[in-house]
């Protein structure tokens, strides 16, 4: 997908990303089922809330770039930068359904113990990064060109279900904002999401 896709509001980009493919040049592919939007100065849950710190610097740059950060001193998490250069926003890639080169993902996620279920390969932002071998070395990578070896693609399949919005996961500040987009009832999502029929009365 070209940079125009990522140029708008991160919430619109987030919704549009559900159902798209994350692709590695070696053949690994996974369909996004869960993402979250993060904005700039008005979003207390965002890394860009306090301005362009060294960590959040990439969020202020051109859209279509990969923003990778180290979480809890243990895991990598990947975002796609959105909006015009000079503004800060991004979409966190939270979970995906493995589609191709699944053995390669299994190998990347192998920790020397028991075999992982396919469901657990990309279910969560840290796991998704590990399955695709995404690390801090990939921070700033251009996702709109194949030159980086990692990109986003549209195969026309779509989300495969209804996309619902919920609060973002794991936040204390900005927890009231409904900026998480997830395929309703998807077993590939990091947190179970209720179907519309399960909501309400």
User: Helix, strand, or coil here: 106?
Assistant: helix
Binding DNA (rule: CB under 7 A), the pick from 30, 33, 45, 152 is 45
Asked if residue 171 binds DNA (CB under 7 A), the reply is: yes
> Cα 157 to the chain's mean position, in Å?
18
Asked if residue 173 binds DNA (CB under 7 A), the reply is: yes
Cβ neighbours of 27 (radius 10 Å): 11
Closest distance between DNA and the C-beta of residue 199, in Å?
A: 17
Closest distance between DNA and the C-beta of residue 175, in Å?
A: 9
Segment (H or E) for 11: helix 10-17
Within the chain, what is the greatest distance between any pair of CA atoms? 51
Closest distance between DNA and the C-beta of residue 88, in Å?
A: 9
Task: Please tell me the distance from the alpha carbon of residue 63 to that of residue 56, in angstroms, as a whole number.
Answer: 14
Asked if residue 46 binds DNA (CB under 7 A), the reply is: yes
Asked if residue 127 binds DNA (CB under 7 A), the reply is: yes
Asked if residue 130 binds DNA (CB under 7 A), the reply is: yes
Closest distance between DNA and the C-beta of residue 37, in Å?
A: 9
Cβ neighbours of 137 (radius 10 Å): 10
Q: Binding marks (x or -) toward DNA, 81..120, rule CB under 7 A?
A: ---------x-x----------------x-x-x------x
Contacts of 122 (CB under 8 A, 6+ apart): 30, 95, 96, 97, 98, 105, 128, 131, 132, 188
Q: Binding marks (x or -) toward DNA, 47..86, rule CB under 7 A?
A: xx-x--xxxx--x-------x-xxxxxxx-x-x-------
Segment (H or E) for 183: strand 180-183
The residue among 147 and 185 lying less far from DNA, judged by its C-beta, is 185
The residue among 111 and 156 lying less far from DNA, judged by its C-beta, is 111
**80 is written with which tokens?**
């796609």
Tell me phi and psi for residue 122, to 5 degrees. Answer: -125, 25
Tell me phi and psi for residue 60, to 5 degrees. Answer: -90, -5
Using CB under 7 A as the criterion, which residues of the chain lie in contact with DNA when the complex forms?
A: 36, 38, 45-48, 50, 53-56, 59, 67, 69-75, 77, 79, 90, 92, 109, 111, 113, 120, 124-128, 130, 168-173, 190
């Amino acid at each position: 997908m070209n940079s125009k896709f990522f140029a708008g509001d991160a919430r619109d980009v987030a919704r549009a990303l559900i159902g798209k493919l994350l692709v590695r040049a070696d053949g690994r592919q996974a369909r996004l089922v869960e993402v979250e939007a993060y904005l700039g100065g008005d979003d207390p849950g965002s890394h860009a809330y306090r301005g362009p710190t060294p960590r959040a610097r990439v969020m202020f740059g051109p859209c279509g770039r990969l923003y990778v950060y180290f979480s809890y001193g243990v895991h990598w998490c990947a975002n796609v930068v959105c909006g015009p250069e000079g503004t800060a926003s991004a979409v966190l890639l939270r979970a995906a359904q493995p589609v191709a080169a699944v053995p390669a993902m299994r190998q990347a996620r192998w920790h020397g113990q028991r075999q992982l279920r396919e469901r657990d390969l990309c279910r969560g932002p840290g796991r998704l990064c590990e399955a695709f071998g995404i690390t801090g070395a990939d921070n700033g990578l251009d996702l709109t060109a194949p030159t980086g070896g990692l990109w986003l693609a549209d195969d026309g399949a779509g989300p495969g279900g209804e996309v619902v919005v919920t609060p973002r996961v794991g936040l204390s500040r900005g927890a009231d904002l409904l900026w998480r987009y997830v395929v309703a009832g998807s077993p590939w999502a990091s947190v179970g999401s209720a179907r519309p029929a399960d909501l309400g009365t």
